[in-house]
């Protein structure tokens, strides 16, 4: 009987690690900076800079019924920022493709309202850089309390893409600059404050 029990225990640990790991990333996030994301002056989400274990994370939480448009907007920016001639363009393509897959999944799974406008879809994007890892996660989230305050209660990543570290680091800077309207110096200061290995987040000098 001991062997099946041991197997069951290992199985549970495996299941927890594989399927429940996204929950672990909610563990006491240290949010260093946050700024709203707006579309036509209407807040539709939040970009937040946080540290998790050894990594710096730029988390984008988007909450809108027009997610297809938002994803199209991100694709447009990615194509501008990462032309095929530039290092990281392949990562950008993978990221956009993942984004569109998740958006379609959210659209298919979305709740249909019987009275009143449809509830918004919720898309979470994480750019994680630090230590030896550089990856992008795309999924969804839940909020608690006033939805405009973005108090995260759950986060579930549907896709994790291990991408070029240079692409991830550079996109963290681009997101902070674009969404939070931050200058290079401010971004440097913020990123230094996160005590992350500088090589992954330093600006790319061309």
Partner 1 sequence: MTRRIASLVENLVFAPWRWIPLACLALVLLAAAWVVQSLELDPSNESLNLADADRIATLKRFQALLGNDEDLLIAWRDPALATPTGLERVAQLTEELQKIPGVTAVFSLTNALQVARGETGAELKPLLAPPYESATAGTELRAAVERMPEFLGWLLSSDLTVTAVWVSLSQESTQFQHLGRSIASIQTVLQGLRAQGLVPHLTGVPVQKQAVTAYIQRDERLLLPLATAVLGVVVWLHFRHIVAVVLPLAVAGMTVLLVHAVLAFLHIRLNAITALLPPILLVLALTPCIHLLHFWLHGGAPREPRHRLRAMLEHLLWRCLLCAATTACGFAALAVSPMPAVREFGLAAALGTLAGFALALWLVPLGAQAFFVAANASTTSPAKGSTLVRWFLHLCGRFSLNRPWSTVIVALAGAGAFSTGTITLRNNTDLVRFLKPGAPLREDTFWIDRHLGGPYPLEFVVEASDGRRLAKAADWQRIAAWSEGAREIATVRGVLSLADLLRHVHAAEFGLGGAVLPSEDDVVEELLDFLAVAPEQQLLRRLISADQTLTRIQVRLRAVGTAEVMATTDRLLSLAQVQLGPEYHVHATGPLYFLARDSNQLVRQQLQSFGLSFLLVGLLMTVAVGSVRFGAVALVPNILPIAMTAGLLGFLQIDLSTGTAMIAAAAMGLVVDDTIHYIGAFRQNLGRTKDPVAAAWQTTLGTGPALVANNVVLVAGFWVGIAGSFLPTLYFSLFTGVTLLLALLCDLLVTPACLVLLTRK
Instruction: Give phi and psi for 33, each to the nearest 5.
Output: -160, 145
Tell me the closest approach of the beta carbon of residue 150 to partner 1, in angstroms.
18
Closest to partner 1 by CB, 18 vs 40, is: 40
Residues of this chain that bind partner 1 (CB under 8 A): 40-42, 64-66, 68-69, 72-73, 76, 112-118
C-alpha closest to that of 159 among 104, 110, 120: 104
| CA–CA gap between residue 65 and residue 197 (Å, rounded) | 37
Tell me the closest approach of the beta carbon of residue 128 to partner 1, in angstroms.
27
Closest to partner 1 by CB, 103 vs 194, is: 103
Tell me the closest approach of the beta carbon of residue 171 to partner 1, in angstroms.
20
Tell me the closest approach of the beta carbon of residue 188 to partner 1, in angstroms.
31
C-alpha closest to that of 129 among 203, 62, 189, 51: 51
Closest to partner 1 by CB, 51 vs 81, is: 81
| CA–CA gap between residue 42 and residue 174 (Å, rounded) | 21
Tell me the closest approach of the beta carbon of residue 117 to partner 1, in angstroms.
4
| CA–CA gap between residue 152 and residue 150 (Å, rounded) | 6
Angle at 97 between CA 95 and CA 100, to 5 degrees: 110
Closest to partner 1 by CB, 72 vs 161, is: 72
Instruction: Give phi and psi for 164, each to the nearest 5.
Output: -55, 125
Closest to partner 1 by CB, 118 vs 195, is: 118
């Amino acid at each position: 009987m001991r062997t099946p029990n041991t197997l069951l225990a290992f199985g549970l640990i495996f299941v927890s690690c594989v399927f429940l790991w996204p929950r672990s990333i909610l563990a006491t996030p240290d949010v260093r900076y946050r700024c709203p994301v707006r579309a036509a002056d209407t807040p539709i989400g939040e970009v937040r800079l946080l540290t998790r274990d050894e990594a710096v994370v730029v988390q984008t939480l988007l909450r809108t019924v027009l997610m297809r448009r938002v994803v199209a907007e991100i694709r447009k920016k990615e194509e501008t920022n990462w032309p095929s001639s530039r290092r990281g363009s392949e990562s950008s393509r993978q990221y956009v493709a993942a984004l569109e897959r998740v958006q379609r999944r959210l659209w298919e799974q979305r709740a249909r309202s019987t009275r009143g406008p449809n509830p918004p879809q919720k898309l979470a994007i994480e750019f994680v850089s630090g230590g030896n890892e550089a990856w992008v996660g795309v999924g969804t989230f839940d909020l608690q309390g006033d939805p405009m305050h973005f108090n995260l209660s759950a986060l579930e990543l549907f896709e994790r893409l291990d991408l070029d570290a240079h692409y991830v680091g550079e996109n963290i800077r681009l997101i902070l600059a674009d969404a939070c309207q931050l200058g290079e110096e401010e971004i440097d200061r913020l990123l230094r404050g996160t005590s992350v290995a500088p090589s992954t987040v330093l600006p790319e000098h061309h």
